[in-house]
A = this chain, B = another copy of it.
Amino acid sequence: MLSFNITCQDSSSSARLGKLKLSHAEIETPVFMPVGTQATVKTLTPDDLYDIGAGIILSNTYHLYLRPGADLIEKAGGLHSFMNWKRNILTDSGGFQVFSLSKLRKITDEGVEFRSHLDGSKHFLTPELVMEIEQKLGADIAMCFDECAPYPCTYEEAKRAVERTTLWARRCQEAHYRQDQALFGIIQGNIFPELRQKSAADLIRLDFPGYAIGGLSVGEPKEIMYDILQVTNSVLPVNKPRYLMGVGEPEDLLEGVKRGVDMFDCVLPTRLARHGTAYTSHGKITVRNAGFAEDFSPIDEECSCYVCKNYSRAYIRHLIKAEEILAHRLLSYHNVYFLVQLMENTRNSISEGRFDEFYRDFFKKYSF
């Protein structure tokens, strides 16, 4: 169901090139996974994502459990069939969403009681129920149900969340039976290096086929995130894929790769698109700004995506001002392409032994 091979290790950093074989296709890492929270990467079709070059997308157990429900998706033949996506999917466990979106949470070792952010209805999620849902959804990679402590929190709170995450990881593993789905463990521990190491050690003992680093990019300074990444990756097995959850910005992707991360996901490309913002090789630009009204150049001169080949900043700005949905669609396409392409260029630089140069060139040009 899952095999992972490191095909090239960068000599100047922890960056590495890998081949990750999943049920629907083999993909190369490091990889950016566009986020399709509600069984759609906002505004885009699967065909757009194939064109963009996305080999794996992420979808959300919490959202799909609440709407339209896992049973309905199972009846449709699983999430791939429901949304007509023929490549790989990873489903997040809902842990993060229960803690960030829902209301009135009551957490015990048994599970989490919460109210839906949609209609206030009461739900109780346990590791076993999450496994049942994720197996009905049928993604290629499922994530364990975890407790994500908030930032900031005390050491004690973070420690309790780590212990519960380990307890739940074991129960997830016991409840998981789908052979065509890989189950990843999630490392917690907030910003405390020793808790991160403990969480990693706990999960390594359970021998998951891949490990995610959760609970980062939740408000802590970037330097802390990078340090935690370094610490955590240093104890993770070299031969297993490492997934940094919910991250991130282009600079975070490169910093993550440098520290040995293989997989990333983030809602930012489509969220920024909704706010009229686009990535360029020089940094982000707010296309809705008046300064672009008569700018007939593409969003990014160096980008070769469908949008940059066909539309101008002036046109997209007009669409934004006129509140036309096509603006969201074109900016989403470009932004997702930008990150997918950034990872492709990164992979090329690793395989050609020039990651260090690539990394430096990127930061010379890209301001954030």
Q: Which positions in A face B, CB cutoff 8 Å?
A: 38-40, 42-46, 63, 67-68, 72, 75-76, 82-84, 293-294, 296, 310-312, 314-315, 318-319, 321-322, 324-326, 328-330
Using Cβ atoms and an 8 Å threshold, which residues of chain B touch A76? Answer: 296, 312, 314-315
Nearest-Cβ distance from residue A19 to partner chain B, whole angstroms? 29
Residue of B nearest to A315 (CB): B82
- A315-B83, A318-B67 as given contacts; A324 in contact with B40, CB under 8 Å: yes
Picked from B42, B72, B293, the residue with its CB within 8 Å of the CB of A68 is: B293
Give Cα A318 to B38, complex, Å. 9
Give Cα A68 to B296, complex, Å. 13
Using Cβ atoms and an 8 Å threshold, which residues of chain B touch A324? Answer: 38, 40, 42
Using Cβ atoms and an 8 Å threshold, which residues of chain B touch A83? Answer: 315
Instruction: Please tell me if the beta carbons of B322 and A325 are within 8 angstroms of each other in the complex.
Output: no
> For A42, A75, A322, which residue has the most chain B Cβ atoms within 10 angstroms?
A322
Using Cβ atoms and an 8 Å threshold, which residues of chain B touch A45? Answer: 310, 326, 329-330
Give Cα A43 to B45, complex, Å. 12
Give Cα A326 to B312, complex, Å. 23
Using Cβ atoms and an 8 Å threshold, which residues of chain B touch A314? Answer: 68, 72, 76, 82
Instruction: Please tell me if the beta carbons of B82 and A322 are within 8 angstroms of each other in the complex.
Output: no
Instruction: Please tell me if the beta carbons of B312 and A43 are within 8 angstroms of each other in the complex.
Output: no
Using Cβ atoms and an 8 Å threshold, which residues of chain B touch A39? Answer: 315, 318-319, 322
Nearest-Cβ distance from residue A324 to partner chain B, whole angstroms? 5
Using Cβ atoms and an 8 Å threshold, which residues of chain B touch A75? Answer: 294, 296
Picked from B38, B42, B322, B328, the residue with its CB within 8 Å of the CB of A38 is: B322
Give Cα A321 to B69, complex, Å. 12
Give Cα A329 to B330, complex, Å. 12
Using Cβ atoms and an 8 Å threshold, which residues of chain B touch A296? Answer: 75-76
In the complex, besides A39-B322, A40-B319, A82-B314, 8 extra interface pairs with C-beta distance below 8 angstroms are A38-B322, A40-B324, A43-B325, A44-B326, A45-B326, A75-B296, A76-B312, A82-B312
Picked from B40, B294, B328, the residue with its CB within 8 Å of the CB of A72 is: B294
Give Cα A210 to B326, complex, Å. 32
Picked from B68, B315, B325, the residue with its CB within 8 Å of the CB of A318 is: B68
Residue of B nearest to A63 (CB): B322
12 contacts between A and B (CB under 8 A): A38-B318, A38-B322, A39-B315, A39-B318, A39-B319, A68-B322, A72-B314, A76-B296, A76-B312, A84-B311, A84-B315, A325-B328
Give Cα A120 to B326, complex, Å. 26
Nearest-Cβ distance from residue A343 to partner chain B, whole angstroms? 24
Give Cα A337 to B235, complex, Å. 56
Residue of B nearest to A309 (CB): B84
Residue of B nearest to A321 (CB): B67
Instruction: Please tell me if the beta carbons of A326 and B68 are within 8 angstroms of each other in the complex.
Output: no
Using Cβ atoms and an 8 Å threshold, which residues of chain B touch A42? Answer: 324-326
Give Cα A321 to B83, complex, Å. 15
